[in-house]
């Protein structure tokens, strides 16, 4: 039974985060009836969620269990004080995310009532090429990850960068300035600024971001505040 449940969960990966019953059954090597029964149990525990179109996605409870992993827990504990200070200074959405394959996953978020609505949710994969945190993580990602993402520059809004050369120049600018910026590339009416968070050996382990409305965007002010907060997180991670 355990092996069958694990096979179902293993069907989900960075390329397959929304699956139908038949797709899950095929990937897990199970009869459809068996997969349907086990999916019902996983759904009742909130390990998986069934969306309106019938497809299954990873549930919040499973995501919460994942955040208990030592690296995620340490990052959350180290980042929350700085994130709270950053929120008090800006009253904008504050997020911290890590790279998981060719996507970004945010680990923690502070969201205020006056903040602009965001499209991201816990555990949901974010595109690297269309988000502030994603551009930061991509700018310092291994070459094979960069190449794979450059081959899949999906158009999300009319402002999303989908040209290979332009994205390469964008990543070079991120490394030169020390921060990334998006303007309505993931959703209309929102933009983001993000900076790297470093671990041992100056390795980029996460990205810290502010998500705000386009009209309130102030890159220089936000970038300075973000860099101070990220430096604080980097120091706490080293303790």
SS3 state at 46 = coil
**Residue 41: phi, psi to the nearest 5?**
-70, -45
Domain 68-238 has CATH 3.30.450.40: yes
Residue-wise pLDDT for 90-125, tens only, equals: 888 999 999 988 889 888 889 876 566 665 555 567
Looking at the chain, which residues constitute the CATH 1.10.10.10 domain(s)?
A: 2-64
Looking at the chain, which residues constitute the CATH 3.30.450.40 domain(s)?
A: 68-238
> Which fold is adopted by the domain 2-64?
Arc Repressor Mutant, subunit A (1.10.10)
Q: What is the pLDDT of residue 145?
A: 92
Q: What is the pLDDT of residue 221?
A: 80
**Residue 163: phi, psi to the nearest 5?**
-90, 130
The model's pTM is: 0.72
SS3 state at 153 = coil
As a whole number, mean pLDDT of residues 15-43 equals 93
Q: What are the distances in angstroms from CA 221 to CA 120, 179, 208, 228? A: 24, 12, 15, 11
Tell me how far apart the alpha carbons of residues 236 and 84 are, in angstroms, rounded to a whole number.
Answer: 15
Residue 226 · residue 195 · CB < 8 Å: yes
One-character DSSP codes across 104-125: EEEEEEE--TTSPP-S--TT--
Taking the mean position of all CA atoms in its chain, how far away is CA 189? Answer: 19
Residue 95 · residue 133 · CB < 8 Å: yes
**CB within 8 A of 207, min separation 6: which ones?**
96, 97, 98, 104, 132, 133, 134, 136, 137, 180, 194, 195, 196, 197
104-127 CB burial, b ≥16 within 10 A, e <16: bbbbbbbeeeebbebebeebebbb
Residue 76 has pLDDT above 60, yes or no: yes
Residue-wise pLDDT for 161-206, tens only, equals: 999 999 999 999 999 999 999 999 999 988 999 999 998 878 999 9
């Amino acid at each position: 039974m355990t092996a069958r449940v694990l096979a179902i969960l293993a069907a989900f990966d960075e390329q397959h985060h929304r699956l139908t019953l038949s797709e899950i059954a095929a990937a897990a090597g199970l009869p459809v009836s068996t997969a349907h029964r086990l999916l019902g149990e996983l759904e009742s525990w909130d390990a998986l969620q069934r969306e309106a179109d019938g497809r299954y996605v990873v549930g919040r409870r499973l995501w919460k269990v994942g955040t208990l992993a030592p690296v995620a827990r340490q990052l959350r504990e180290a980042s929350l004080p700085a994130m709270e200070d950053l929120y008090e200074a800006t009253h904008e959405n504050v997020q911290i995310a890590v790279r998981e394959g060719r996507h970004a996953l945010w680990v923690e978020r502070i969201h205020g009532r006056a903040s602009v609505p965001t499209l991201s949710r816990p555990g949901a994969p974010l595109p690297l090429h269309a988000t502030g945190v994603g551009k930061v993580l991509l700018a310092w990602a291994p070459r094979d990850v960069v190449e794979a993402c450059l081959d899949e520059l999906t158009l999300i809004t009319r402002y999303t960068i989908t040209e290979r050369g332009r994205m390469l120049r964008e990543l070079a600018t991120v490394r030169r300035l020390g921060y990334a910026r998006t303007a309505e590339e993931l959703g209309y009416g929102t933009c983001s600024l993000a900076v790297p968070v470093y671990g041992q050996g100056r390795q980029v382990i996460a990205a810290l971001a502010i998500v705000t409305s386009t009209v309130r965007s102030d890159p220089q002010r936000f970038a300075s505040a973000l860099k101070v907060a990220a430096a604080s997180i980097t120091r706490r991670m080293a303790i």
